[in-house]
Structure 1
Amino acid sequence: MKIKHLILLLAVCCIVACKTEKKEKEETKSFTKELTSFSKDSIEYSFVFLGCNRVDRHQEYDTTATNGSTANLYAMKRIWNEVASLDQKPDLFFFLGDMVLGESTTTKLDSQLKDWVNLYNDTSFSAISTSGIETVAVPGNHEMLYWADYGVKGHDEWPLKGATQIWMNHMTEFMPKDRDIVTGNDSINNQMTFAFTRKNIGFILMNTDTYNAPSKVNPYGLEGQIPTNWIINKVEEYKNDASIEHIFVLGHKPYYISENGIITPKTGHEGFPEGPTLWPKLRENNVIAMLSAHKHDYQRMQPEGDKTYQVIAGNAGSPGEAPFFGYTKIDVMSSGEIHLTAMGFDQGNPYYAPVPNSPTTIRDQTILTWTANANPYSN
């Protein structure tokens, strides 16, 4: 009996083992099929965007935080080196303003931008300048405005005369040579709003604080100005170009922000006055997203529930609400899908302190669907 039982037990084990092996082979075959299918959907083009890395005024001369560039040195060095060392390097790196403290005099702005460019090109500091990644930059309010209390309710930042030329003197190397520019009577002030294409993607870059001179109506000038008609015309041109499948609009200031979970349009200092005119045109012309900074936070939203996104990546190192510092990467896939990944590491204490024990991890990841996104982001 014992021998019979043993033979029966061995037979059962053999059958179970065969079924298990067959199941594992089927699962492996299925997984391999999925991998093969996924591998066909390769990255056609990718880019990184971020903004707001300047230190706070209290740290302007703190050499543990910054140097003459007034950049948050630890965060900037870490982000630049991590992006430059990615296995799948992005093709483009967008810096969306507030890389320097500025917001005072043209003398300070000139010195700080000069030192920022030197920092970017310093290979002993980071590998970004020799990585082969194209870098494109637009200014923010800290490069274009100055702070003054003129007793005007709700306003304390004003257009800085001469800032445009200083930016062009130092930052032209971070503007594509093949860009389309604003022409006409106001072309000088609009040099930092431009557009260009890469593969099947149209990029429109906005200076959201274009210089405008003081007038009788506005004795100190106005912040938040953009060449609205030119931007809308360019969006429509790209929409009607059969070779362009994806459109992105980028600028320092956003139009929408999320406050305590409530998405709100902003036409004052937090946004720009022409938002109500521009945003409907972005939706109408299938613009994927407006990519911005300014608010020291990371936010992703579809302000009207579907279609065009507002993504804020003002978490590159300036103090504020952001729970993490880092960068956001967008991959345009061969299938046409748009993949977004926000990478980040915890802020130090103080915010400019090194945090070598905080790894950079994925903080948000989604596919930018044109319909309502089923994967909302929340801090």
Structure 2
Amino acid sequence: MFIVLFFFGCNRVDRHQQGDTTATNASTANLSAMKRIWTEVANLKRKPELLFFLGDMVLAETDTINLNSQLKAWVKLYNNSNFSPISTSGIETVAVPGNHEMLYWHDYNVPKHDEWPLKGATKIWMKYMSNFMPKDRIYVEGKDSINNQMTFAFKRKNIGFIVMNTDTYNTPTKENPYGLEGQIPTDWIIKKVEAYKKDKAIEHIFVLGHKPYYVNGKPHTDHQGIPDGPILWPKLEENEVVAMLSAHVHDYQRMQPGNKGTYQVIAGNSGSPGSATFFGYTKIDIMSRGKVKLTAMGFDVGNPYYKAVPENPSTVRDQTTLTWSQNSNLYQN
């Protein structure tokens, strides 16, 4: 049994480039980077079975009007085979919302906190992106099922995937008058991880979501990370989850917290400006004998960051086998 999956996130342009036709269009995506990544992946001799886009595909983060128009334009781009050969490649694409799709930003004088849940964002996401969610997924039911419908689980061959919306909508309360960012249905996710661990047909488990828990080797419960990370992460290790695959940070990072066990891999380097020196995608090969191989591919970022750089080839930037014991192959930025 052999399966290949790709993942990346964070392709939206900077606020100052919104409307700049040299950088983007109505989608607010970094057009040069997105077209190049989609084209390279679609033209690979060994195509992936799965491709995960881990959020922040549009700028949005203001109101439902912008979110609606930008996601609509993004889907139009994806379905344009001249721009996105991924759309006709047969590759299963799974889209995961990020904070730019789920939150709104303002400059209210609130210390260290300027992003809040956007009412109506869930409905708009489902309107445009439901076709990028597996039809056979298992999702949260019962109380708050509407808000939690972008957190789900599904199987492919011998792999179990748990996909998290890391900014699930929650209503304002007296204690939290704007609502809270970084919310996930933690209990449901843990139960699904435990169920997949007990399933004898599943040999590998991956948890995916826009926001990571570890950044630069340190846990984060603030805007960079997940507030329930201290509850979730030990359960991932206990149930031998291979890795949490994330974006949000505009960089590529690979970590193995505690020097053993579950990995945190961040692939937020698909076109948004930030600390990333290369844009690209990350690949995981699940070998027939159980070996899990990770490869990060990328091309040097242009100046400005949205400039097409065909002269900069895509090369291997990181490669390793994801061993459960301490990985002797450390990633260095």
TM-score interval, smaller chain: over 0.9
Matching residue of 1:168? 126
Cα shift at 1:199: 0.1
Check if 1:79 corresponds to 2:37: yes
Matching residue of 1:9? none
Matching residue of 1:279? 233
Runs (5+) with no aligned partner, structure 1: 1-42
Matched residue SS, 2:205:
strand
Matching residue of 2:293? 339
Matching residue of 1:26? none
Check if 1:326 corresponds to 2:326: no
Cα shift at 1:108: 0.4
Please provide the CA RMSD for this pair. Answer: 0.6
Q: Which runs of 4+ in 1 moved over 4 A?
A: none
Map 1:54-65 → 2, pairs under 5 A: 54-65=12-23
Matched residue SS, 1:366:
strand
Name which of 190, 193, 196 aligns with 1:235: 193
Residue deviations 1:154-191 (CA, integer Å, cap 9, x gap): 10000000000000000000000000010111100001
Cα shift at 1:339: 0.4
Residue 115 of structure 2 aligns to which amino acid in structure 1? E
Cα shift at 1:308: 0.1
Residue deviations 1:101-132 (CA, integer Å, cap 9, x gap): 01001000000000000000001112110001
Map 1:1-379 → 2, pairs under 5 A: 44-258=2-216, 263-379=217-333
Distance 1:176 1:334 in 2: 24
Cα shift at 1:153: 1.4
Cα shift at 1:149: 2.5
Residue 291 of structure 1 aligns to which amino acid in structure 2? L
Distance 1:150 1:282 in 2: 36
Cα shift at 1:150: 2.7
Bigger helix share: 1
Distance 2:142 2:274 in 1: 39
Residue 324 of structure 2 aligns to which amino acid in structure 1? W
Distance 1:354 1:309 in 2: 32
Counting aligned pairs with the same residue, the percent is 72
Cα shift at 1:277: 0.2
Residue 59 of structure 1 aligns to which amino acid in structure 2? Q
TM-score of the pair, normalised by structure 2: 0.99
Cα shift at 1:69: 0.4
TM-score of the pair, normalised by structure 1: 0.87
Distance 2:194 2:235 in 1: 8
Matched residue SS, 2:67:
helix
- Larger CA Rg, structure 1 vs 2: 1
Matched residue SS, 1:151:
coil
Matched residue SS, 1:304:
helix
Residue 30 of structure 2 aligns to which amino acid in structure 1? N
- How many residue pairs get aligned? The number is 333
Residue deviations 1:321-376 (CA, integer Å, cap 9, x gap): 01100000000000100000000000010000011110000000000000000100
Residue 264 of structure 2 aligns to which amino acid in structure 1? Q
Distance 1:222 1:326 in 2: 31
